[in-house]
Copies of this chain bind each other. A is one copy, B any other.
Amino acid sequence: MSDIKKVVLAYSGGLDTSVILKWLQDTYQCEVVTFTADIGQGEEVEPARQKAIALGIKPENIFIDDLREEFVRDFVFPMFRANTIYEGEYLLGTSIARPLIAKRQIEIARQVGADAVSHGATGKGNDQVRFELGYYALQPNIHVIAPWREWDLLSREKLLAYAETHGIDISKRKSGASPYSMDANLLHISYEGLALENPAAEPEEDMWLWSNSPESAPDAAEYVELEYSKGDIVAINGVAMSPAQVLTKLNQLGGKHGIGRLDIVENRYVGMKSRGCYETPGGTIMLKAHRAIESITLDREVAHLKDELMPKYAKLIYTGYWWSPERHMLQTMIDESQQTVNGWVRVKLYKGNVIVVGRESKTDSLFDPNIATFDEDGGAYNHADAAGFIRLNALRMRIAANARLKRG
């Protein structure tokens, strides 16, 4: 019925991807290989093995990986070196995880000799684009199967009916489960759908799963010291940590102090506006602190060039072009700028606030108190220089104004 022989499915073990698994078997009559990754979503991944087996997947066709360190080291940290924010607000928590999933799926496809890959993203969202641009960039002739664009199970009812008919266990849809459309990884958790589809209405408090509200956060502030090496955090409060450990720790601290909630309307790549809510506790701290360490270690024009290019870089990640040559090109430049971004930043966390209260670089500071001082500086700076500086910067405007005056 199809010429697909083997497909690698990004499989969470949940209802949707279990239905997809079955549907792939039925529709394409092909062998299915499941891939389940721990990227810090906060759920056990090992149970996916039994579910896959229950659905007839051969043990050797089940791949379960812990990608948390790779995720933070090779995706999250490089992105934060650019102070990346999409549309002034969004920290790209979902966007940055997709390229890693795509890469690993393609690696597995090569290893097992699969000719297709499949994912559970819908036809209206950004994630389908992020997955598939990754697939195509890394394996140009791979066959991509996007069930949500192909099948007719477009409502929750139809999906459940299909599951029941095909013997998929739906008992785990416990009554207490969140009804929102969600995505989670070590960088963030997101919520879409339902009441959120009205952007005029405030989300209900019990939607938020990861963080205290600012109101319920501790009444006492907490100070945290972050140590940077080449733009990345390498230690917290003096304790050296791996990338995933850093983000885990900052999530715990940020979540405790009500930090990193976000409620926005964003512009999707596929053309519509969409309302999303996000919790990014650790990322919110990282963004603020990274700007602070850069503020004393980056040259002014380097910092401004980064700022001017950031929206473009953020858009590339949001729209799924992580594996594109232009993202790579920008990353080369960004990484080069981070060679001197070394030192520490102290932040104060308090009820939703991340307050920078100190920053220092023993090795790379460009802050020169002798020049900046309001006191006499012993000749480090010649005040008279400013007159010429201003006059030549003004010259083009003076010539223009004189020309206007002459014309009357």
Contacts and interface: CB of A to CB of B under 8 A. Distances in A.
A140 B405 CA distance: 9
A395 B203 CA distance: 27
A350 interface: yes
Number of copies: 4
Contacts of A199: 295-296, 358-360, 367
A267 interface: yes
Contacts of A261: 355
Contact of A392 (B149, B215, B355, B385): B385
Contact of A300 (B330, B386, B387, B396): B396
A398 B273 contact: no
A132 interface: yes
Nearest to A402: B140
Contact of A140 (B350, B353, B399): B399
B124 A393 contact: no
Interface of A: 83, 87-89, 122-124, 128-129, 132-133, 136-141, 146, 148-149, 154-155, 181, 192-194, 197-203, 214-215, 221, 261, 263-267, 270-275, 291-292, 295-296, 299-305, 307-308, 311-312, 315, 321, 323-326, 328-330, 332-333, 336-337, 346, 348, 350-353, 355-360, 363-369, 371-376, 381-403, 405, 407
A24 to B, nearest CB: 17
Contacts of A302: 325-326, 329
A381 B295 CA distance: 37
Contact of A366 (B353, B360, B396): B396
Contact of A367 (B273, B291, B321): B273
A200 B360 contact: yes
Contacts of A271: 300, 392-396, 399
Contacts of A133: 390, 393-394, 397
Given A140-B401, A353-B351, A372-B272, A124 B381 contact: yes
B386 A385 contact: no
Given A139-B401, A385-B392, A398-B136, A330 B305 contact: yes
A271 B270 CA distance: 17
A374 B192 contact: yes
Contacts of A146: 386-387
Contacts of A371: 124, 272, 395, 399
Contact of A325 (B301, B373, B391): B301
Contact of A202 (B194, B357, B385, B405): B357
- Top 6 A-B pairs, shortest CB-CB distance: A271-B395, A388-B388, A123-B383, A385-B388, A267-B300, A136-B394
Given A132-B390, A202-B346, A271-B396, 15 more contacts: A129-B390, A192-B374, A197-B372, A200-B360, A202-B358, A272-B371, A272-B395, A273-B366, A299-B326, A299-B396, A307-B311, A330-B333, A350-B351, A351-B352, A366-B400
